[in-house]
Structure formats: structure tokens, C-alpha cells
Amino acid sequence: MWLLWSAVARLCTAHLHTSAGGQVAAADAAAPFLVLRVRRASLVEDALESLAGNTPLSLLKPLRVVFVGEEGIDEGGLRKELFQLLIEALFTGGYGLFVWNEEVRCFWFSRDSLAQEGAADYLLVGLVVGLAIHNGIILDLKVPTLLFSQVLGEPSASLESLKQVDPELARGLAQLLEFDGDVEVTFMATFTVAATACGEPKTVELLPGGADRPVTNESREEYVRLVVEHILLTGVRPAFDAFRRGLLTLCDGPALSFLSPEELEELVCGTPHLDFAALQANTRYDGFRETDVTVKHFWEVVHAYSTDEKRALLAFATGCDRAPVGGLGKLKLILQKSGPDSMALPHSHTCFNLLAMPAYTSRGKMRDRLGIAIHNAKGFGLQ
């Protein structure tokens, strides 16, 4: 973690110097692209080191990605793959920066005191998201719309907002407000919340002396307000402020103020509306023809899928279960023939939006083989 912090610190220093009027180095100014060279074995550290070596002005250049030791020219696929791997590593790779809620299938900032001290790491996450926006890369980012509201300077601390992050807690607090009885005797609660420090449980006071102040019928509304504010605002402020700063390093400007939270979410994560007829009309074929029986069976099976199954297919083929901005008609899916009819499963190359499969001769086999593939693929967001 020290390496992450050190590299981000240098990035922040470069940002301050450039903002103060410092000159971009001649070599940096002459380079037409921002080139990130990373090793798969140390992806996060290498990406951060590479970003830290650039000024904010150079970060605005067109991005090119090089995986060290691998052949390949970045025509878009390597960029997409890098962002997929970075987001997966930063959110689920053991850094402890975010907490997953299975009910809403979203991440929120960790309130662990150690995570909150790692503001530099959250700055990196924000910078990665900002870099993706700037380069038109859709991210498989599982966060609530509330986050984008706060990025746009619209903080919200209501029970409705809490439902996006922790619906079970929101229901419990609503029951407390509606309880018809003696709150103090029944709930035996004080003005504190449970938290962790380095993974160990601890208690946080919601106000000075909160551990000695009972929650009563008269004070329960204040208690609920403070709990919600702690979960959504005050308890994660260092992390959120750093994340927002990183994102706005590349994306701040007048245009941002014209976006709604939902529009900003669509810009980052794509649109949730899935028009598979538009996807079919825009799909390219490699080894197949549009009139082949395998292709016909594929679309018959896919159009019969439920919404969840369609999302699983998109995630399997593209790495993201949403459509890009503009809808699925803007997604260039490639359906590739991997060989003659067999029992082999389909496979994908998400960085190229490529789905490869044998020339299945029956609809039943297509449904079976494709279903096994999409429901047993392990990836970020498919936990």
C-alpha cells in the first residue's frame, strides 16, 4: 500500500505544480499519446506509477496501453481490458476500499478507519474513472446513483438514499421511527454506530458523549438523521472527497454541471436499457453468415432470455452488463465461428466484444452450451 500512496502523492504534486503555472516538459508536450505500460503481475502498482509520471495535461491525451512482454497494438481492446482489470482489482482485490451489499448489488465506501486513512488510494480510483470517461470507456462499475449525485455536489442523507447503500439498515431505522412503544427500553440503543478499525470491531460516537446518551422516543429522529449522515456522508468523507478529486482532475468543467446524476451514471456505466434488436442489427460475423442456422438459433435463444440472462450474456461477451451510451445499437458485437459443431462451450474476448462458439446445429444445444457459459463465467460484478 505504501507504493500506491507514494505514487499518488507524486501525482498530486505534479497536479499542483501544473496548476500553479509549471511548464510541461518538452518531451511530454511532444508525445501525441498518454502511454501506460503495465505488467499483469503488478497491474495496479504499474498503472499508478505510470499515471504518477504524467502531468494532468498529459493525462488528457489519447490513451494507449502496453502490456509488457505481450505483442499487440492498442486499437481500443487493450484500453478496455486495462480498465476492466483495474476496476476489478481496486474494488475486489483485497484493498478493502469498498464494501459490497448483496441485496442492492452495489459497492459503497468502506468505513473502516484504515481505509479512510488511505485517501490516496481513493484518489486513484477517481482518477481511473475520470480517465475512462475521458477516453469513452464504459466501466462495469457497481455503485449507486447516489454516488454520482454527490460527485455533482448534490449530497443526500435521507432514508431513501440509504436504501441504495444498505436497505436492511434503512428498513431497521424506519421501523425505529414507526415503533409504537418505549424506544429506550425496547431498543436499548445509544448515539453510536458499529464500525471497524483494521478489521476489528469498534464503536463510533455520533456526537460527543453519544455512548452515554440513550435513544428515546423524543430523540429517535435525531438519531436516525445522524446514522444516515454517518453512513452516507461524514463517515466516508475522506474517501469520497479523494475519489471526487481524482475524478474531477480530468472531468471537471462547465459541461459537467449540465448533467443529472442519472446522465453521469450512464456516461460512466452505460445505459441499463437493453435493446437486443438493435444489437442484432449491428452485430458483425466472423466465419458465420447472418443466414446460417447457428446464427438464427443464437438470436432465437437470446431474444427469449429474461432480462437477467441478457445482462449475463452481455457481461460474458463484453465485460459489462449495460449498453454503451446511445444503446446497444452502438455496441459492435462480433460473433465468431470457433469450429464445427461440438459440445465445446462458447468463449469470449471481452476486450474486443467478441463471442466465439462452434457451429451448433440445434437450438437445444445452443441454449444449453450458451447458458452454461454465461452462468458459470466468474467476473467482476457477477459475484
Which residues does the annotation mark as catalytic? 351
Longest Cα–Cα distance in the chain? 74
Q: Are strands 192-197 and 34-38 parallel, antiparallel or unpaired?
A: unpaired
The DSSP symbol for 114 reads H
Query: Cell 504524467 appears where?
Result: 54
The angle at the Cα of 340, spanning 358 to 373, to the nearest 5 degrees, equals 20
The closest of 320, 316, 278 to 299, measured between CA atoms, is 278
CA–CA separation, 126 and 87 (whole Å):
11
Query: Cell 501506460 appears where?
Result: 36
Q: Are strands 192-197 and 200-205 parallel, antiparallel or unpaired?
A: antiparallel
The closest of 145, 165, 164 to 154, measured between CA atoms, is 145
Sequence-distant (6+) residues with CB within 8 A of 222 are: none
What backbone phi and psi angles, to 5 degrees, belong to 32? -75, -20
CA–CA separation, 108 and 110 (whole Å):
6
- Entry field: residues in the chain: 383
The closest of 47, 56, 146 to 88, measured between CA atoms, is 47
Using the Cα atoms of residue 115, residue 119, residue 123 and residue 126 in order, give the sign of their dihedral: positive
The DSSP symbol for 156 reads -
What backbone phi and psi angles, to 5 degrees, belong to 34? -90, 115
